Amino acid sequence: MPRLLASPRAPGVSQRGFTMNELVMVLVIGGILAAYVVPRLGTFMGVRDGAWRDSLASSMRMAQKFAVGHRRLVCANITNTTVSLRIATANPATTCDTDLPGPDGSSVFARAGNNNATTVVSAGGAPASGLFFQPDGRVTTDGAGTNAVDWTITSTAAAPIAIFGETGHVD
């Protein structure tokens, strides 16, 4: 009697590959993971950008506190991914001539974890690059302290930081 249940293959050759059920299950599991993991990765990148925003805000608070506490002009230079602070050695002064060491001892006070971060600084609505923290707590567009304006610092995927020119308050 012939064998009806045997698979047609040569004797001594083992069967290879996956069954249709196994392939469908792998695709279903992969789809579920993709639907769950991809949004989480976007959230993770937002956390990194949120940390950069917090570093920016704390750097601006430190600059204002250094200026008032030392009674010296403090200059903050902000790029897309770094913040550097400098202080004047004498008072009164219109320029800053000494680096304030950051947490790691370098001249960079804060650094973004995302190298593709974009940071825009504006003073009174106009683009700017440097903030001048005066010894009386005001934040101005020049070292002489003649023009105190409100500042906005906006970084990638994070809420803007507002700095009030007359008080130096960082929000």
Q: Mean pLDDT score of the chain, rounded to an integer?
A: 85
Q: What's the number of CA atoms in the CB half-sphere (13 Å) around residue 88?
A: 20
Structure tokens at 72: 């010296």
Q: At 44, list the tokens.
A: 């993770």
> If you average pLDDT over residues 129-136, what whole number do you get?
91
pLDDT tier at 159 (50, 70, 90 boundaries)?
confident
Question: Where do the domains of the chain lie, and which CATH numbers do they carry?
Answer: 20-163 (3.55.40)
pLDDT-derived band at 35 (thresholds 50, 70, 90) equals: confident
Tokens of 5: 């249940």
Alpha-carbon distance of 151 to 48, in angstroms, equals 23
Position 7 scores a pLDDT of 58
Cβ neighbourhood burial of 140 (10 Å; 0-12, 13-18, 19+): buried
Residue 67 confidence (pLDDT) above 90: yes
**What's the confidence (pLDDT) of residue 45?**
53
Of residues 14 and 122, the one with the higher pLDDT is 122
Nearest to 46 by CA among 164, 162, 159, 126: 159
Q: Half-sphere exposure of 134 toward its Cβ, with a 13 Å CA cutoff?
A: 20
Contact 72, 88 (CB under 8 A): yes
Q: What is the mean pLDDT of residues 14-23?
A: 84
Quote the CA–CA distance of 106 and 62 in Å, as a whole number. 16
- Rounded to the nearest 5 degrees, what angle is found at the Cα of 134, between the Cα atoms of 131 and 140? 40
Q: Rounded distance, CA 111 to CA 109, Å?
A: 7
**pLDDT bucket at 2, cuts 50 / 70 / 90:** low
Torsion of CA 155, 123, 61, 56, to 10 degrees: 20
Query: Residues 1-16: what's their mean pLDDT?
Result: 61
